[in-house]
């Protein structure tokens, strides 16, 4: 969470947004290497992800006032965040798959607890924790804002974990990516912003990506081996023949 925010010191917002919009792609690639998951996606799902990513980038950059500005340090930071996020989502899916009794609340608690040792020491060393405490003391209303944000974050994280547990990490990443597009579209409709041809092209690509994702997988049904089928068919006939022969022998006269 800190890497994307920290990358803004080296990247401008359009450049960071371009990288964050590609989250679905590393999630799908990383799923093939996670032990206990080894997920493989059909070709149309990869095409759907590419269309969704390109459409979102076109739509979000349509009204950008500045061009994307790239910096090596910023690119490394946001790329590391994408890789770690992709690994975490697939790891959570693997845990839900191998341990179905794991709940979303337990997963959220463990993920937060593991991250605390990596977050608190830098805050103590830089003095940011004490500055934040002093600022909150001077502005008590911040405590209410923090409580509301924590509640909203909890609901959002549990919802995301539920999507991962039911539909998988890749589908969840696609849903969150499509959510960004819906949010942007609603902002244009509510605040009556002008839509350009680039907006329309982006929306078209996003719609095509979602439609491709909804297509069912055309996998042929697995057929049983011919030998086992013949055995299942021949066995009843053989039994029926033996039973008939046995009844005939019983009804046969003794003389």
- pLDDT band for 147, please (50, 70, 90 cuts): very high
Predicted pLDDT at 52: 85
Q: What is the per-residue pLDDT across 25-59, written as a single tens digit (0 to 9) for each?
A: 888 888 878 877 777 888 888 888 888 888 888 87
Predicted pLDDT at 227: 47
The pTM is what?
Answer: 0.67
Q: What is the per-residue pLDDT across 97-114, written as a single tens digit (0 to 9) for each?
A: 888 898 999 998 888 888
Q: What is the per-residue pLDDT across 127-146, written as a single tens digit (0 to 9) for each?
A: 888 888 888 889 989 999 99
- pLDDT band for 243, please (50, 70, 90 cuts): low
Q: What percent of the chain shows pLDDT beyond 70?
A: 78
Q: Indicate whether 185 pLDDT > 80.
A: no
Q: Which long-range contacts (CB under 8 A, 24 or more apart) does 180-186 make?
A: 180/21, 180/56, 180/60, 181/52, 181/55, 181/56, 181/59, 181/206, 184/59, 184/60, 185/59
Of 33, 151, 239, 27, give the one whose Cα is nearest residue 143.
Answer: 151
Of 117, 119, 95, 120, give the one whose Cα is nearest residue 108.
Answer: 95
Residue 21 near residue 60 (C-beta atoms within 8 A): yes
Mean pLDDT, the chain, rounded, equals 77
- DSSP result, 73-112: HHHHHHHHHHHHHHHHHHHHHHHHHH-TT--HHHHHHHHH
Q: Indicate whether 198 pLDDT > 50.
A: yes
Quote the CA–CA distance of 18 and 58 in Å, as a whole number: 9
Neighbours of 190 (CB within 10 A): 8
- pLDDT band for 255, please (50, 70, 90 cuts): very low
As a whole number of Å, the end-to-end CA separation of the chain is 96
């Amino acid at each position: 969470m800190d890497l994307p925010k920290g990358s803004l010191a080296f990247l401008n917002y359009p450049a960071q947004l371009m990288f964050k919009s590609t989250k679905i792609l590393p999630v799908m690639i990383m799923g093939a290497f996670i032990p206990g998951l080894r997920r493989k996606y059909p070709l149309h799902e990869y095409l759907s992800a590419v269309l969704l990513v390109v459409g979102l980038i076109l739509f979000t950059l349509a009204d950008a006032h500045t061009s994307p500005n790239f910096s090596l340090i910023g690119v490394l930071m946001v790329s590391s965040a994408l890789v770690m996020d992709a690994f975490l989502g697939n790891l959570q899916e693997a845990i839900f798959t191998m341990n179905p009794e794991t709940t979303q609340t337990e997963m959220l608690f463990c993920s937060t607890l593991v991250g605390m040792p990596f977050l608190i020491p830098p805050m103590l060393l830089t003095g940011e924790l004490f500055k934040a405490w002093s600022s909150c003391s001077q502005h008590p209303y911040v405590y209410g804002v923090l409580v509301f944000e924590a509640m909203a974050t909890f609901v959002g994280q549990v919802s995301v974990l539920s999507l991962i547990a039911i539909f998988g990490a890749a589908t969840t990443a696609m849903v969150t990516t499509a959510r960004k597009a819906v949010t942007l579209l609603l902002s244009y409709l509510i605040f009556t912003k002008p839509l350009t041809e680039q907006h329309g092209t982006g929306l078209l690509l996003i719609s095509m990506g979602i439609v491709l994702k909804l297509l069912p997988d055309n996998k042929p049904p697995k057929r049983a081996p011919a030998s086992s089928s013949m055995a299942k068919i021949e066995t009843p006939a053989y039994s029926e023949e033996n039973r008939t022969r046995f009844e005939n022998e019983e009804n046969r006269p003794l003389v």
